[in-house]
Amino acid sequence: MNDDRPRLHIDWTRCDARGVCLELLPELLGEDPWGYPVARNGPDPVVPPGLDAPARQAVRDCPRLALALRTPRGRP
């Protein structure tokens, strides 16, 4: 079931701890002591069905374009 679900990928070379994703996806992302996102369920977490919309918004709104949604076959 999870195989078709997109995964949230963080490009750490771009992430600058701006925090927009932390506001939009608190269910998925916590914050480390320096303000960087910590995926609660391990790296490249699966985006559950109810969070599709905020995940897409986070990808759009990240000021550093550090986020991407990846499906097993490529970008959605």
Taking the least distance from each CB to another protein, the nearer of 43 and 76 is: 43
CB of 31 to another protein, least distance (A): 11
Q: Are 47 and 9 in contact (CB under 8 A)?
A: no
How many helices (DSSP H) and strands (DSSP E) are in the chain? Answer: 2, 4
Tokens standing for residue 27:
């269910």
- Cα dihedral 16, 7, 48, 34, rounded to 10, equals -20
Q: Does 69 bind another protein (CB under 8 A)?
A: no
Taking the least distance from each CB to another protein, the nearer of 35 and 48 is: 35
Within residues 12-51, the interface with another protein by CB under 8 A covers: 12-17, 32-36, 38, 42-43
Residues lying near another protein in the complex (CB under 8 A) are found at: 9-17, 32-36, 38, 42-43, 68, 70
